[in-house]
């Protein structure tokens, strides 16, 4: 699919998306691909409609928040958002953006990451963090969790103790452990009221998915 076609999903900022998409994601990572960017944009639009925020700045931050690809098991994982913010700053400066707008977008990208553990200070940064984390829970979050586990060579679950009742949780070895280690906890850290409401709904879906898996095994 061409970048022109993909850019239409970022309406009303399609022209900006068409220029930025070629630098926006890694083609070989199905958990951080164009589909992920589109879902995060839709989440951001839903939150922005209730909370406010500058749509142009949000679009740039969403488009470029994963513009530097770092694998989940890389020792540089905690640096991914900083590297992406630096790259985004260069791209937007070349686009002729003001220093203030570049700084706002860079801050949103820097603080979106769970691994970076940096608190967002602007409304746009809070929205981008919430929009991105919403894609880690619910049905899509479960699908991404299992996809990443396969990419990292992990198993789905421990066949002898799937709920880790007699062993330590290990989400590097078993995908289902990641639900308890991280995914079920994400809803507690949302920054906006709208995002928190959406996160609560998706966390319930995630629990249903986990329960269905346990029932089938």
The per-residue pLDDT for 16 is 95
Question: Domains in the chain, start-ordered, CATH in brackets?
Answer: 1-125 (1.10.3210.50), 136-217 (1.10.3210.50)
CA atoms 98, 85, 192, 48: torsion sign: positive
Residue 209, pLDDT above cutoff 80: yes
CA atoms 37, 59, 51, 191: torsion sign: positive
The per-residue pLDDT for 42 is 97
φ/ψ of residue 113, rounded to 5: -75, 135
The per-residue pLDDT for 106 is 97
Three-class SS state of 32: coil
The per-residue pLDDT for 74 is 65
What residues does 155 pair with on adjacent strands? 174
96: Cβ–Cβ under 8 A, 6 or more apart, which residues?
none
Tens of pLDDT, residue by residue over 47-92, are: 999 999 999 999 999 999 998 877 666 666 678 889 999 999 999 9
Three-class SS state of 158: coil
Residue 157, pLDDT above cutoff 90: yes
Quote the CA–CA distance of 18 and 33 in Å, as a whole number.
15
Work out the average pLDDT over 177-204: 96
Quote the CA–CA distance of 108 and 145 in Å, as a whole number.
24
Instruction: Look up residue 129 and give its two tokens.
Output: 């963090």
CA atoms 139, 143, 146, 148: torsion sign: negative
CA distances 13 to 19, 31, 144, 154, 178, Å, are 10, 23, 27, 38, 35
Instruction: Look up residue 3 and give its two tokens.
Output: 């970048």
């Amino acid at each position: 699919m061409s970048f022109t076609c993909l850019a239409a999903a970022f309406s009303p900022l399609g022209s900006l998306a068409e220029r930025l998409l070629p630098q926006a994601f890694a083609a070989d990572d199905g958990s951080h691909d164009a589909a992920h960017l589109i879902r995060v944009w839709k989440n951001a639009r839903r939150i922005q409609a209730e909370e406010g925020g500058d749509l142009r700045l949000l679009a740039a931050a969403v488009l470029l928040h994963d513009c530097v690809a770092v694998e989940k098991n890389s020792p540089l994982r905690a640096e991914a958002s900083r590297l992406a913010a630096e790259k985004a700053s260069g791209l937007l400066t070349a686009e002729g953006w003001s220093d203030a707008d570049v700084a706002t977008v860079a801050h949103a990208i820097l603080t979106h990451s769970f691994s970076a553990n940096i608190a967002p200070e602007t409304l746009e940064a809070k929205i981008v963090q919430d929009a991105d984390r919403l894609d880690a829970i619910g049905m899509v979050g479960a699908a991404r969790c299992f996809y990443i586990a396969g990419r990292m060579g992990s198993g789905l679950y421990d066949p002898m103790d799937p709920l880790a009742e007699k062993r330590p949780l290990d989400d590097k070895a078993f995908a289902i452990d990641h639900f308890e280690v991280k995914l079920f906890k994400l809803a507690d850290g949302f920054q906006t009221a709208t995002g928190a409401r959406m996160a609560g709904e998706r966390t319930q879906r995630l629990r249903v998915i986990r329960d269905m898996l346990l029932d089938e095994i």
